[in-house]
Amino acid sequence: MAAGSEVGRKWQKRSQTCRSRRVKCDGRRPKCSPCQRIARDCHWIEEAGTIAAPRASAYQSSPLASAATHHGTDYTSAEHPEYALQDPQVAKLFRHYIGTLAAWYDLNDSKRHFKDIVPVRARYNPLLLSAILAFSAANQHRTLGEDAYLEIAEFYHYDSVRRLISLTKNIDSIPLGETLAAICLLRSYEIIAQNVSSQSHLQGCYSLLASRQIHLTADLLSAGYWNYLREDITVALIEQRGLMITLSDQNAPPEPTEDADFANYITFLLGKIINRCLSVDSSALNPLEWEAMKADLDEFKSSLPPSFDTIQTPGLGRQSSFPSIWTLRSWHVSTIHYYHTAMGILWLAQPATEPLKALQRIDDMECLRRRLEYHATEICALAISSDSAPVWVNAFGPIAFCCGWIQDSQKRMEMAKELGKWGKLTGWPVSSISDALCPSEMVH
């Protein structure tokens, strides 16, 4: 119970923001100052687990049309999912998730938990349905540019936070698989509706995971865990920092048996390398430690089945300055991306075996530059050859971290354009990544 209360306090603290999500709520009653200034209904958090929830009708025929006419319109509640799905707009958002967005989460999952299991569970789980609707509406807002979707997204996001806080009153009774899946969806909502640095549900999820032992098998909880870790890796690579989750050999995945298992295994290895090498307070690697980590990556690479071998087909797609290489499965791309990212980090962290003279250091720096550019080129080439949104969403982290190592200006400009294209298609905020590669005035 103590752990649940602590998680609840953390979620509550991070949820005390104005519904607009642009400024913090000052807690004034009956209206906070920001809401009072613009004559908006104010919904503040009174205490842990208790939120003055937005009014929600049991059912409306067209919430999108209503939202377009005036602010503060009631939306269909997710409290009774089966009834909510009778609302055409709720059903459309639900189907948009199933048909388009679920694949983002099933990138490395041959059993497709987020496409086949999550929608079934959402028909009986209000939190999961509300999280799906929030994420789906936010994605529609970003990709279609219709403001009405943003209001719908904010409503269901707010509803999800309220339900999360309520669940933490009794953490022992939380359905972990459904809850972790919902948190992964809400993390994506935060990224596309706000910004990459928004961390509230990633932190709340960390608190939830820290208080529970997860046995990695082939269930929804495990699928949620791997998605949570991938999201954490993406943000850590973009911000060049350690993960929020602590990884140890005790929660290492079992030895890969199926093709897709290798993707989760390299996810774990990359997470450990990020924590060891990119954390602000981490010490430099000693030679023995570096050799051990390098050996783990070499062993992993040599253990990959032939199905992971890239296929080279010059002239297959449009003309590109990158090599034309592709793979058979989406998890083959993510696996190779993570491998090259991990190798790049290790080369950066390689300790010097002995003091170097000036000319030796020049040679050493040139060797490092070639290695880093090779790994970055492989990452970019595989991404450009892919026409998969899930692959690109997962690639944003490796690209952000590694793409700066590419020296050729034509390649950098091409990559910036591709990032912009896939940012628009997925709703992901990629401008900071593409701008770092190539100033915006040079891209257009």
Mean pLDDT of the chain: 82
CA–CA separation, 166 vs 46, rounded Å? 13
CA–CA separation, 209 vs 281, rounded Å? 23
**Dihedrals φ, ψ of 5, to 5°?**
-65, -40
Mean pLDDT of 308-331: 91
Give the C-alpha distances (Å, rounded to integers) separating 339 from 288, 378, 412.
20, 10, 21
pLDDT tens for each residue of 94-131: 999 999 999 999 999 999 999 999 999 999 999 999 99
Please report the pLDDT score of residue 103 as a whole number: 97
Residue 316 amino acid letter: L
Percent of the chain with pLDDT over 90: 59
Neighbours of 188 (CB within 10 A): 25
Decide: 151 and 71 in contact? Cβ < 8 Å.
Answer: yes
CA–CA separation, 75 vs 62, rounded Å? 9
Q: By mean pLDDT, which of 82-86, 248-252, 332-336, 396-400 is the weakest?
A: 248-252
Please report the pLDDT score of residue 50 as a whole number: 35
Which alpha helices (H) appear in 386-408, and where do they start and end?
A: 389-402
What's the pTM value of the predicted model, to 2 decimals? 0.83
Please report the pLDDT score of residue 111 as a whole number: 92
Please report the pLDDT score of residue 14 as a whole number: 46
Establish whether the linkage from the previous residue to 30 is cis, with ω within 30° of 0: yes
Please report the pLDDT score of residue 36 as a whole number: 54
Spell 406-439 as b/e; 16+ CB within 10 A means b: beeeebbbbbbebbbebbeebbbbbeebbeebbe
CA–CA separation, 218 vs 213, rounded Å? 15
Please report the pLDDT score of residue 319 as a whole number: 85
pLDDT confidence tier of residue 58, bands split at 50, 70 and 90: very low
Q: By mean pLDDT, which of 60-64, 153-157, 371-375 is the weakest?
A: 60-64
Neighbours of 401 (CB within 10 A): 24
pLDDT confidence tier of residue 305, bands split at 50, 70 and 90: very high
DSSP-derived secondary structure letter, 17: B
Residue 154 amino acid letter: E
Please report the pLDDT score of residue 175 as a whole number: 85
CA–CA separation, 321 vs 301, rounded Å? 26
pLDDT tens for each residue of 44-56: 433 333 333 344 4
